[in-house]
Chains A and B, each alone.
Chain A
Amino acid sequence: MPTIQSRGAAGATAEFREGHTVIKTRNLEKSFSTRAGQTWVLRRIDMEIQAGEFVSIMGPSGAGKSTLLSILGLLDQSWAGEYELFGTPVHSLKPKDRIELNKKLIGFVFQQYHLLDNLTVQENLDIPLSYRNMKGSERAAAVADTLDRFQIVGKKDLFPNQLSGGQQQLVGVARALIAKPKLLLADEPTGNLHSDQGREIMRLFKQLNDAGTTIIQVTHSEENAKHGNRIVRLRDGWIVEA
């Protein structure tokens, strides 16, 4: 597992240093209608997360953790309430503008890695950049830099099925960070990994956080949560500890 050098690239620019509010929600709610009536997934979520924090969202299955992460990551559009991301009122943005904000600010790590099987490591890393109006030469440089930074240059031409789970997740983290997001969101990032590989990924997250990246992870693991500096607990859609 690589030692990630602090370049400020993955997080702390002058305007987003520690102490600045990254996320602020007020009365954030999500529900859907069923024949039995309204089913609530999230209820009156009030939370604040500052730049430089490493927050773990915990709770039993069905508590609404992943849904909350999707909303915070601007991937879920159907919710009510107020949500400010780096001071931008997301609740008053059009879907198109939310996508732009997502591209500018957020990197996402998935439990099942979700690398594209028919693309090499190098090509997988290029995907987020291909949607960001960058010149080919800039993209190639960013991919080369990321391969180097995560010490996976030797794996650049391999396909995901030629990598171990830990290596795939390492590529998943590299892919999430290649576009230099200010906020890294991770949904059970070690859920599919052997415990040793999981610890390595957590160590990597800790390094990234120390280098300035604000991180929010969903986890079931108390051990993983200890790598962060705060735990938000959900139960039945309510925050029970913040």
Chain B
Amino acid sequence: MISLAVRQRRREISVRIALGAAPRDVLGLVLSRALRLAAAGALAGPCAAFFGTRAMRTLLFQVAPGDPVSVGAGAAVVVAIALLAAWLPARRATKIDPITALRQE
């Protein structure tokens, strides 16, 4: 998804590089988008879990439904995986040759 977003924003990223964005700025641009998506997921997940765990109560072993540590750890794992998944497309985005990319537009 982030890879697709980077491809779609290739022109924007090229313009920003041509106007002075350093690789760290491009990394920040791509990773912040990934972080926003992951944060939305990490917030929506516990909400869904709140209702879902009631139905699954009988299947849980030694974990209380809505256990804050489990929910927090789950959310943290989601965010970490999203950032890891975004790292490669973000690195690729820093390597865009702005002039070639803009010429292809």
Contact = CB atoms under 8 A, between A and B. Distances in A.
Given A70-B99, A75-B98, A112-B102, A131 B21 contact: yes
Interface string B15-46: 11111111001000000000000000000000
A114 B11 contact: yes
Given A76-B99, A110-B102, A116 B20 contact: no
Contacts of B103: 66
Contacts of B67: none
Interface in A119-169: 127-128, 131-132
Contact of A131 (B25, B97, B102): B25
Contacts, number: 43
A112 B105 contact: yes
Contacts of B20: 99, 102-103, 128, 131-132, 179
B36 to A, nearest CB: 15
Given A96-B22, A114-B11, A127 B16 contact: yes
Interface residues of B, number: 18
Contacts of A131: 16, 19-22, 25
A76 B97 contact: yes
Interface of A: 66, 70, 75-76, 96, 99, 102-103, 108, 110, 112, 114, 116, 127-128, 131-132, 175, 179
